[in-house]
Amino acid sequence: MSKRYQLDYESPIGIIEIFGNEEGIYSILFSEKDTLEHFADDNLPNPLLDCFHQLEQYFSGSRQDFAFPYLCKGTDFQKTVWTALTKIPYGETATYKDIAVSIGKENAVRAVGRANGQNKLSIVVPCHRIVGSNGKLTGYAGGLWRKEWLLKHEMGIKVR
């Protein structure tokens, strides 16, 4: 079993905890911590450093997708949903129904919602791009205010 590493990234909307190993990243989640505890240094494996730098680029507006290895741990259905989420273009949104139809499971809307909620790779697997069938914001593990910020950021709307 590979050694596990943690790195904290201070984003404009709070601290993000990155967990991974030599093979890739398996968790990117918002934290409610007030201070950074795990800092970047040259002893960290490349996937963590690459993730850190690519998140910096994303938040500065110079990156729209990610190119570091990540490890999705879940059921085959969850992995199918998460792959479909990565196909939602930057700056656009989709509904659970859109995802269900795209994976050929149009009656599995609730299961798609549950899989979306189990995503551990925030931003990279862009579950924040899912909205309700009425176009309104729906739940987000990082908080609806962060979801709104991310969507506005991706749509080019100035956010503070």
Interatomic CA distance for residues 62 and 18, integer angstroms: 20
* Angle ∠(91,137,95) on CA atoms, nearest 5: 65
Q: Which residue has the tokens 């059921």?
A: 75
Write the Ramachandran bin of 100: left for phi over 0, alpha for psi from -120 to 50, otherwise beta: alpha
Query: Pick the catalytic residue: 94, 100, 115, 127?
Result: 127
Evaluate whether 141 touches 29 at the Cβ level (below 8 Å).
Answer: yes
Is 127 one of the catalytic residues? yes
Interatomic CA distance for residues 28 and 121, integer angstroms: 5
Axis-axis angle for helices 76-85, 109-117 (nearest 10) = 80
**Catalytic residue numbers, as ranges:** 127
